[in-house]
Structure 1
């Protein structure tokens, strides 16, 4: 299949390589988590893993959420998203989220795991797979971002869960990503890289001129089909104090096609394994 791309194949390969590295970091750190480790320690481990492998900057600093914080329980202000001294215990779910920048390329990923057994976590993870399929099908159908957000909400209700991405700033389920172009120094403001923020705000201004937004939510500004380019998509569902999500890049072409940048990711391997053995 030929895709009318906004990003050429060589560039896509660099984005895919960095996304793979970000997932490797999250999976490696996740598999090494032990009872008593704090969210801050887990986030620091992700940072160290990625810096050692050439990451120079961040779209946002690494996050780690343990226990009921995976479902953003009682989150009211942005500061609550930052890692805390919450300690991991047996049976606790966790989410690791990182957004490294290397040589101008950006990845933004979310990885859900659990220390030991947790039946609610396993059920949520199995049901999360339906969102990956739903979102790409809806984008290909040319539906508006606002309508797709509504379709995701409908599936969440059908499954009996809670929408947790509505707690993110701006209620976003996704945001556009591209190469970071900035001459500003590497510097963090409120957990976000200043270079990445400058790029995002530039995109925001350009998109608003076309009555679009690089942020995908359920408001009027998202009442248009997906803009061609790359989107970091993160459906996040919760139930009884357990939250799970994935976050990965969706590529939207100029001719209206859409596909996930990479199928060789931990959550996709989990679901394809379930299908293969079903």
Structure 2
């Protein structure tokens, strides 16, 4: 028994050898990172195309366009895929992606001067419109319109030009029946012609009517407004206005009322617009 106790125990160690780790190495991580980066760039591009205007996209393209002239590079093909470099000297301006030494972009000072010139023209037109308004409405102390006619005139300056509105009242109508002008409208047309001598702007004539009762089988508003617009054009021309200055004649029927009650007599009106040039 003593001999057996002196025998040292035998310990067996077994090592588990695996060729590579459980994920076959780390190369897949690099490929996955490249894929995620490419997808992020793709979705960023899609977002930019959707969230920016054409002018903003052109600005982004100009930012990445080269600032030095580059030689034209061509391949052996032809057509749309003929091998032309997008950075070629004659390609950038044609594609609208930048400027080159041959075709530089417009100078900012030129754009600024053009904008300032347009503002100056608009301001000059506004001043001439104010002169016409003052003479019509008597703001300068003298009016070319009698008091009984003045209550039928409203003026306003808009982006389109000077709008002179001639409207009816319960006691003074502009038309007899559908489109026959009254003496009041004839007097007002002569005033418009006299006012037109102060400016050279082209003129637009617009006719509006109040709404007709719903019980009518056929709504005559369109026909009536068209007849009134054409009639007023003939009236101002016969009063001395040059026919070439009438740029547009439009009928709106009862589609643009100025009173909440669409049947209000005040919606019966003729609008003369001195258009901006």
Normalization by structure 2: what TM-score? Answer: 0.28
More strand by share: 1
The structure having more radius of gyration, on CA atoms, is 2
> Which of the pair has the greater relative contact order for Cα pairs under 8 Å at 6+ separation?
1
Q: What TM-score comes out, normalization by structure 1 length?
A: 0.28
